[in-house]
A and B are shown apart, each in its own frame.
Chain A
Amino acid sequence: MQEPLVSVRDLKVHFDVPGKGKLHAVDGVSFDIMPNETVGLVGESGCGKSTVGNALIRLVKATSGEVMFDGKEILHLGQKEMNEVRKKMQIIFQDPYSSLNPRETVSAILADPYQIHKLARGAELKAKVKEMANSVGLEDYILDKFPHELDGGKRQMTGIARALALQPKFIICDEPVSALDVSVQATIINLLIGMQQKMGLSYLFISHDLSVVRHISNRIAVMYLGQIIEFAETDTIFSNCMHPYTIALLSAVPKVDFHDRSKRIVLQGDVPSPIDPEPGCRFAPRCPMAQECCRKESPALKEIAPGHKVACHFCKEARQRMLISRAG
């Protein structure tokens, strides 16, 4: 059995909201990512998926919990040791417009990682930058351009090249294709998959777009209000998900398929506030099958089949009952 590359245990990130209370952005999240694996993290806006990514690479401070990376606990490392870890752990952001320094050329942006970690200089640096740029499909003439002179796809390629420069093992991809047009989106997805195969990378792929996540992920974690409520192999999530929220979420996506005209399950209401959440299941206020016990006791994320974890008191019946209510 392989050791996981990333192992997250009971991660919590709480923010103080003055005058209002504590915002539970991430509330007890645990999962593993294996070497060369892509784990998709899906959920709606405000569910805490980006905060999980940011907490892993310590762009926000975790309130409690444990993150093991490559056999080492990293949440309590000093600045110097953490810098070493960041060589192996990188992040790609959603918005390539704001994550690239507007006053640097592409070649300067790509030289940054080598210079910060004092890995190359002079002619060697130049050669490395060029090699990195070419490997993601950026032509040489792009190197002298500034970010504003590039289109969204080329900008995102620059962000990817920067993240790959130090040969990391693990990359957090935070909505990397959401800001791109569909024709460009495919290029970036193919690039990420290609680079994974070439360099043996692991990804945490954060996205709200279920079709993109399905395409790229080996396993998928579904988040709702700061918690993972279902975790399974990609095909299991799409063919046999058990949590009422996952079932509703999948049915809500508009489909192009004309042969699948199954009716949408429309959830009532909005996502409740994550500030000082009520006890009990977070999804209970919107759940079509919530019972008294759901409002009192928060269900734990339990393994109900090998590799398939669900946090629902009634997950055994959920699928059947939700699908009957859909037919009726």
Chain B
Amino acid sequence: MNEKTRNEHDNGELLRIEDLYVEYVSGGAVSKAVNGLNLTLSRGEALGLVGESGAGKTTTALSILQLLPDHVGYIRKGDILFHGESMLKKKEKELDEIRGKKIGMVFANPLTSLNPVFTVGHQIAMGLKKHHKLTDKQAEEEAAKLLEMVGIARYRLNDYPHQFSGGMRQRVGIAAALSCNPELLIADEPTTALDVTIQAQILEIMKDLEQKYNMALIMITHNLGIVAELCQKVAIMYAGEIVEYGTVQEVFEHPAHWYTYGMLHAIPKLTGPREPLEPIPGTVANSQMLPGGCKFHTRCRHCTVQCEKEIPKLMKINDDHYAACFSGVGVKKED
């Protein structure tokens, strides 16, 4: 570990993604899923990663865990540092020690991420036996406690995933991801498949855990409301780049990128007067044929010549707010 990384490590930095480029190849066509992404996450910090489908949110998550599909997806450039150490240089055996133990992951669809032929108790206990070297009996007891923590009675330990409802399966997925007290939890749309009242149950559990265990969280979602309730920081993604980053309130109340502004104005509100919606023209950029310059410029009403030619970098607006936009939303930028 060199001097620089050690210092940042001491500052409470848990994860750093540096200039990450990820591509997928299929049938000779190259999809540029992530294009120069930079991101830092401190210990205990909850970050919302927001964007529409195809923005590269899930790809970013899979890259962190080195779970990109073999032969199809690969990291072309950049680095991912966890505790200051590169995840890219680690051997499979070392990664096994991190996955599930230090970094937990909750997937969008609990029916496909749980194994149908094992009981939920077995699946929650798996990580405990592997990483904490518990005996079968101890692991079972721990698994029962985890189930209770997410609001499922312990007698259901020996039931199979198909015997649970969607919301309960997702809670099982969360219990399994949390079994080894990870320092970082990556949750990929954990409530998208669930009903509102069940979603509320899951969000309460996650909020609780965040506070209890000082766990860092990357919450991948397209739901801005969830970010507002659960996260301190938010990163808005578009076409594989972070276009805006900052504290949630600052970004949502004073958006400085036209894409963020557009998204906030395209969503119907739950309170206040019902105003006409302003759609964002066009459709999400095609990752196989990305436009030059700012990737959003083809849909932006405020596009300038500069936007068509130059890729904007994240620029500082204030300590809590960065945006990659040349013609920001009427916000005076400092240099």
Q: Which of B107-115, B179-187, B274-282 contacts its partner?
A: B274-282
A254 at the interface (CB under 8 A from B): yes
Interface residues on A, range: 35 or more
In contact, A183 and B262 (Cβ under 8 angstroms): yes
In contact, B225 and A258 (Cβ under 8 angstroms): no
CA distance A253 to B197 in the complex (A): 8
Residues on the A chain within 8 Å of B230, using CB: 254
In contact, B277 and A214 (Cβ under 8 angstroms): no
Scan residues 239-254 of chain A and give those whose CB is less than 8 A from a CB of chain B: 248-254
In contact, B277 and A186 (Cβ under 8 angstroms): yes
A252 with B224, Cβ < 8 A, contacts A183-B262, A186-B278 known: no
In contact, B201 and A266 (Cβ under 8 angstroms): yes
Scan residues 205-260 of chain A and give those whose CB is less than 8 A from a CB of chain B: 208, 210-212, 214-216, 238, 248-258, 260
CA distance A250 to B271 in the complex (A): 11
In contact, A44 and B197 (Cβ under 8 angstroms): yes
- Identity of the chain B residue whose Cβ is nearest the Cβ of A255 in the assembled complex: B225
Q: Which of A183, A214, A249, A257 contacts B196 (CB 8 A)?
A: A249
Residues on the B chain within 8 Å of A212, using CB: 268
In contact, B270 and A257 (Cβ under 8 angstroms): yes
In contact, B266 and A267 (Cβ under 8 angstroms): no
B94 at the interface (CB under 8 A from A): no
In contact, A190 and B252 (Cβ under 8 angstroms): no
Scan residues 52-68 of chain B and give those whose CB is less than 8 A from a CB of chain A: 52-53
In contact, B197 and A267 (Cβ under 8 angstroms): yes
Q: Which of A185, A251, A252, A255 contacts B271 (CB 8 A)?
A: A255
In contact, A264 and B277 (Cβ under 8 angstroms): no
In contact, A186 and B200 (Cβ under 8 angstroms): no
In contact, B266 and A186 (Cβ under 8 angstroms): yes
Scan residues 249-270 of chain B and give those whose CB is less than 8 A from a CB of chain A: 249, 252-253, 262-264, 266-270
- Identity of the chain B residue whose Cβ is nearest the Cβ of A43 in the assembled complex: B195
Q: Which of B198, B226, B228, B253 contacts A270 (CB 8 A)?
A: B198
CA distance A238 to B268 in the complex (A): 14
In contact, B277 and A215 (Cβ under 8 angstroms): yes
In contact, A252 and B196 (Cβ under 8 angstroms): yes
In contact, B283 and A252 (Cβ under 8 angstroms): no
In contact, B284 and A252 (Cβ under 8 angstroms): no
Name the distance in Å between A68's Cβ and chain B's nearest Cβ. 30
Q: Which of B253, B270, B276, B280 contacts A253 (CB 8 A)?
A: B270
In contact, B195 and A190 (Cβ under 8 angstroms): no
Name the distance in Å between A208's Cβ and chain B's nearest Cβ. 7
- Identity of the chain B residue whose Cβ is nearest the Cβ of A251 in the assembled complex: B200
Name the prevailing secondary structure of the B interface residues: helix
In contact, B204 and A254 (Cβ under 8 angstroms): no
CA distance A248 to B204 in the complex (A): 14
Residues on the A chain within 8 Å of B165, using CB: 270
Residues on the A chain within 8 Å of B276, using CB: 190
Residues on the B chain within 8 Å of A185, using CB: 266-267
Residues on the A chain within 8 Å of B204, using CB: 264, 266
Residues on the B chain within 8 Å of A253, using CB: 196, 225, 270
A153 at the interface (CB under 8 A from B): yes
CA distance A258 to B196 in the complex (A): 20
CA distance A249 to B195 in the complex (A): 10
A123 at the interface (CB under 8 A from B): no
CA distance A250 to B229 in the complex (A): 15
- Identity of the chain A residue whose Cβ is nearest the Cβ of B202 in the assembled complex: A266
In contact, A254 and B228 (Cβ under 8 angstroms): yes
B38 at the interface (CB under 8 A from A): no
Residues on the A chain within 8 Å of B253, using CB: 258
Name the distance in Å between A157's Cβ and chain B's nearest Cβ. 12
Residues on the A chain within 8 Å of B268, using CB: 189, 211-212, 214-216
B203 at the interface (CB under 8 A from A): yes
- Identity of the chain A residue whose Cβ is nearest the Cβ of B165 in the assembled complex: A270
Residues on the A chain within 8 Å of B167, using CB: 270
B223 at the interface (CB under 8 A from A): yes
Q: Which of A186, A251, A271 contacts B267 (CB 8 A)?
A: A186
Scan residues 259-301 of chain A and give those whose CB is less than 8 A from a CB of chain B: 260, 264-268, 270-271
Residues on the A chain within 8 Å of B199, using CB: 252, 254
A151 at the interface (CB under 8 A from B): yes
Q: Which of B151, B223, B277 contacts A190 (CB 8 A)?
A: B277
Residues on the B chain within 8 Å of A214, using CB: 268-270, 274
A184 at the interface (CB under 8 A from B): yes
In contact, B274 and A215 (Cβ under 8 angstroms): yes
Q: Which of B151, B195, B249 contacts A45 (CB 8 A)?
A: B195
B316 at the interface (CB under 8 A from A): no
A187 at the interface (CB under 8 A from B): yes
CA distance A210 to B225 in the complex (A): 12
Given contacts A44-B197, A183-B284, 5 further A-B contacts (CB under 8 A): A44-B198, A183-B283, A214-B270, A267-B200, A267-B201
A-B contacts, 22 of them at CB < 8 A, read A44-B198, A183-B262, A183-B279, A183-B280, A185-B266, A186-B266, A186-B278, A186-B279, A187-B279, A214-B269, A214-B270, A215-B269, A249-B197, A251-B200, A252-B197, A254-B223, A254-B229, A255-B225, A255-B271, A256-B252, A267-B200, A271-B195
